[in-house]
């Protein structure tokens, strides 16, 4: 099989969450969404309560539900599709930690693709001043990008 043209030819560094697990997590987030918008505090609380990583719930939102995440003037949008194989979930965890440290100030959103797959993992930082695209993003880039956006 030939590899899709638009995936990196760098070796994968991480494993994707399997679809069965995602489907289960998706049901949990759908239930949570019935009670109100999926703001980071509510997703993080669910993750803590269930003893699972918040990033796994975020992956489930993008890949296993029809649920919409709220946005704010500053919103970090993570590709949690194929980008998972190059560390996307670590980027999401970095945003979750930043959110907890700051007590908010931005929203976390997810997509199944941000159309820059060759540069996985890809993160968009949307701010009132414009949108920055982080390519081959690392957790530290997300922390720094959010710090700059929230100054
Ligand atoms: S799969 Fe992540 S940008 Fe396309």
In a domain, 5, yes or no: no
In a domain, 1, yes or no: no
In a domain, 80, yes or no: yes
Average pLDDT, integer, range 11-17: 93
- Mean pLDDT score of the chain: 94
Unique residue bearing structure tokens 């701010």: 127
Interval between CA 58 and ligand 1 midpoint (Å): 15
End-to-end CA distance of the chain: 47
- Cα dihedral across residues 14, 16, 21, 22: positive or negative: positive
Interval between CA 122 and ligand 1 midpoint (Å): 7
Q: Which residues line ligand 1 (CB under 6 A)?
A: 79, 81-83, 113-117, 120, 122
In a domain, 49, yes or no: yes
Q: What is the pLDDT of residue 1?
A: 39
59-84: pLDDT as tens digits: 999 999 999 999 999 999 999 999 99
Q: In 3-state terms, what secondary structure has residue 130? A: strand
In a mutational test of the pocket of ligand 1, which residue from 83, 87, 136 has the highest number of ligand atoms less than 8 Å from its CB?
83
Ligand 1 atom at minimal distance to the Cα of residue 121: 2
Q: Do 89 and 56 contact (CB within 8 A), yes or no?
A: yes
Indicate which CATH number applies to the domain containing 60.
Answer: 3.40.30.10
Interval between CA 105 and ligand 1 midpoint (Å): 26
pLDDT of 3 above 50:
no
pLDDT of 16 above 80:
yes
Ligand 1 atom at minimal distance to the Cα of residue 83: 2
Interval between CA 35 and ligand 1 midpoint (Å): 30
- The domain tally of the chain equals 1
In a domain, 6, yes or no: no
What's CA 23's distance to the chain center, in Å? 17
The pLDDT-based confidence of 7 (bands split at 50, 70, 90) is confident
Q: Which two three-digit tokens encode residue 40? A: 């980071």
- Can you give the residue range of the structural domain that contains 24? 19-149
pLDDT of 2 above 90:
no
The pLDDT-based confidence of 5 (bands split at 50, 70, 90) is low
The pLDDT-based confidence of 145 (bands split at 50, 70, 90) is very high
């Amino acid at each position: 099989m030939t590899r899709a043209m638009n995936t990196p030819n760098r070796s994968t560094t991480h494993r994707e969450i399997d679809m069965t697990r995602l489907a289960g997590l998706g049901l949990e987030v759908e239930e949570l969404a019935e009670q109100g918008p999926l703001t980071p505090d509510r997703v993080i609380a669910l993750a803590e309560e269930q003893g699972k990583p918040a990033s796994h719930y975020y992956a489930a939102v993008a890949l296993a539900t029809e649920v919409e995440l709220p946005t704010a003037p500053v919103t970090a949008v993570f590709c949690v599709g194929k980008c998972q194989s190059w560390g996307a979930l670590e980027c999401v965890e970095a945003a979750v930690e930043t959110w907890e440290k700051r007590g908010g100030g931005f929203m976390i959103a997810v997509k199944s693709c941000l159309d820059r797959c060759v540069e996985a993992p890809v993160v968009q930082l949307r701010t009132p001043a414009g949108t920055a695209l982080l390519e081959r993003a690392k957790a530290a880039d997300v922390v720094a990008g959010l710090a700059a956006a929230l100054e």
